[in-house]
Amino acid sequence: MINLNPSDKALVPFVSVDHMMKLIHHIGLHDMLKGIAGYIENDFKRWESFDKTPRIGSHTDDGVMELMPTSDGLDYGFKYVNCHPKNTEHGLQTVVAFGLLADVASGYPVLLTEMTLLTALRTAATSAVVAKLLAPKGARVMAIIGNGAQSEFQATAMQAIVGIDEVRLYDIDPAATAKCAANLQGTSMKIVACKTGQDAIEGAHIITTCTADKAYATILTDNMVGAGVHINAIGGDCPGKTELAEAILHRSTIFVEYPEQTRIEGEIQQLAADHPVTELWQVMTGQAKGRTSEAQITLFDSVGFAIEDFSALRYVRDQIKATKLFHPLDLLADPEDPRDLFGMLQRAG
Ligand code: NAD
């Protein structure tokens, strides 16, 4: 637990949206993406020490609300996250999230934090860690189809971690592309706004799909995808919600976070339950092969797994210690005599 004040032993550090934004500016976006990426890589390399389960989702026609827990035996973390693609029509975010980290020995929470921004960072960091592993050598150009809330984070992580210097954008809503292009103007990357998805992927080494629609969508058709590219498919992450034509999956080598969850939520829900996939942690530990030829199409069927949130939560816990960018939160009833909860209540009256 962060030492807030010796007399406030049960106060829990809470990182608000405002504090998270200050933390990102304090550390620097590139450095924070690299920092989170480092934690994710390290945690994937010790994959077997984690308690893992597919996330628990509550589905409706319009969206899903999910809980994502995991533990390494020392720390326990979970994230609450939703995905409601129609929210933007009502001025609301498609995805919002918050999360908690707890000390396994006592069960006491040690951090409560906003995770809407942090999810965008950890998703982008994961995409970049995987692209660094699988994208064709010397990849410099990426396409992003779906230019909503996640898009600039995706581009920035690919710049910081993979060395991307050109981003080609497409969205069915030109206003989203204009927003994304304007937000990325300050970077040293060349930004190209495109009129079609086909235009956007022209010459791209990495193709990121991050659209939101609760449907079996076809953002990429088979004929759009040429040999040798890396596809980073992040928008198909829920039963009944995919982005790629099935034929692309049959031409690709498919890499996943946690097969038990991805088979329910990812692009591979379109395939037979025993279709071969490669687990990323095994590539990272040298137990499985990554890209094996220049012509190969590698596909990261990203759905977002709890360990990435756990890595991000621990990163934030470690960073806020020095910055004091948190509120001490009176979250836990913790009487001086642990068995006198009732007495504490009476005295408060
Ligand atoms: P958002 O609603 O802010 O943006 C989505 C964009 O996709 C919108 O601009 C929309 O106009 C565009 N779009 C919809 N259909 C399209 C189509 N057919 N062609 C081109 N563009 C289209 O959503 P967001 O927060 O950026 O999230 C994007 C997706 O990423 C969501 O589906 C979300 O569930 C997913 N996501 C995945 C992970 C992960 O770990 N894999 C993490 C976070 C979000």
Q: Say whether both 105 and 172 belong to one domain.
A: no
Question: How much distance in Å is there from the Cα of 290 to the middle of ligand 1?
Answer: 27
Active-site positions read 237
Ligand 1, residue 87: give the atom nearest the CA.
Answer: 2
Residue to mutate (ligand 1; options 171, 232, 280, 308; most atoms within 8 A of CB): 171
Ligand 1, residue 234: give the atom nearest the CA.
Answer: 41
Between CA 164 and CA 247 the distance in angstroms is: 27
Q: Say whether both 311 and 284 belong to one domain.
A: no
Residue ranges of E strands in the chain? 12-15, 56-59, 64-71, 75-83, 97-103, 109-114, 141-145, 166-170, 190-193, 206-209, 216-220, 230-233, 242-244, 252-256, 278-279, 297-301, 327-329
Give nearest CA residue, ligand 1 atom 30. 235
- How many domains is the chain partitioned into structurally? 2
* pLDDT per residue as tens digits for the range 250-273: 999 999 999 999 999 999 999 999
The whole-number pLDDT of residue 6 equals 45
Residue 39 placed within a domain = yes
Question: How much distance in Å is there from the Cα of 63 to the middle of ligand 1?
Answer: 13
What is the rounded average pLDDT of the residues 50-76?
96
Any ligand 1 atom below 6 A from CB of 171:
yes
CATH number of the domain that residue 53 is part of = 3.30.1780.10
Q: Say whether both 167 and 280 belong to one domain.
A: yes
Q: Say whether both 109 and 142 belong to one domain.
A: no
> Pairing state of beta strands 216-220 and 64-71?
unpaired
What is the rounded average pLDDT of the residues 277-295?
98
Q: Say whether both 299 and 343 belong to one domain.
A: no
Query: Which residue range(s) make up the domain with 90?
Result: 6-117+307-348
CATH number of the domain that residue 156 is part of = 3.40.50.720
* pLDDT per residue as tens digits for the range 87-135: 999 999 999 999 999 999 999 999 999 999 999 999 999 999 999 999 9
The whole-number pLDDT of residue 201 equals 98
Q: Say whether both 218 and 271 belong to one domain.
A: yes
Tokens, residue 135: 């994208």
Q: Say whether both 284 and 342 belong to one domain.
A: no
What is the rounded average pLDDT of the residues 13-34?
98
Q: Say whether both 216 and 89 belong to one domain.
A: no
The whole-number pLDDT of residue 5 equals 54
Q: Say whether both 257 and 151 belong to one domain.
A: yes
How many residues in the chain?
349
Phi, psi of 257 (to 5 degrees): -75, -70
Mean pLDDT over all residues of the chain?
96
Give nearest CA residue, ligand 1 atom 40. 304
Residue 105 placed within a domain = yes
Any ligand 1 atom below 6 A from CB of 278:
no
Q: What is the DSSP string of 202-233?
A: TT-SEEEE----SSEEEEE-GGG--TT-EEEE
Residue 125 placed within a domain = no
Find all residues with CB under 8 Å of 347, minimum gap 6, and list them: none
Residue to mutate (ligand 1; options 36, 66, 150; most atoms within 8 A of CB): 150
Any ligand 1 atom below 6 A from CB of 210:
yes
| Residues 146/212, Cβ–Cβ less than 8 Å | yes
Any ligand 1 atom below 6 A from CB of 215:
no
Phi, psi of 322 (to 5 degrees): -80, -25
Q: Say whether both 150 and 293 belong to one domain.
A: yes
Sheet holding 75-83, edge to edge: 56-59, 64-71, 75-83, 97-103, 109-114, 12-15, 327-329
Any ligand 1 atom below 6 A from CB of 303:
yes
Please state, in angstroms and as integers, the Cα–Cα distance from residue 73 to each residue in 40, 53, 107, following that order: 17, 15, 11
Residue 139 placed within a domain = yes
Any ligand 1 atom below 6 A from CB of 237:
yes
pLDDT higher than 80, residue 302 = yes
Q: Say whether both 245 and 297 belong to one domain.
A: yes
Tokens, residue 21: 């934004």
Residue 235 placed within a domain = yes
Q: Percent of the chain having pLDDT more than 70? A: 97
The whole-number pLDDT of residue 10 equals 83
Closest CA to 76 of 329, 331, 310, 320: 310
* pLDDT per residue as tens digits for the range 214-247: 899 999 999 999 999 999 999 999 999 999 999 9
Return the H-helix or E-strand segment holding 339: none
Please state, in angstroms and as integers, the Cα–Cα distance from residue 102 to each residue in 73, 108, 122, 159, following that order: 11, 5, 19, 33
Residue 325 placed within a domain = yes
* pLDDT per residue as tens digits for the range 122-177: 999 999 999 999 999 999 999 999 999 999 999 999 999 999 999 999 999 999 99
Phi, psi of 21 (to 5 degrees): -65, -40
Residue 179 placed within a domain = yes
Q: Say whether both 102 and 164 belong to one domain.
A: no
Residue 126 placed within a domain = no
Angle between helices 116-134 and 17-27 (to 10 degrees): 40
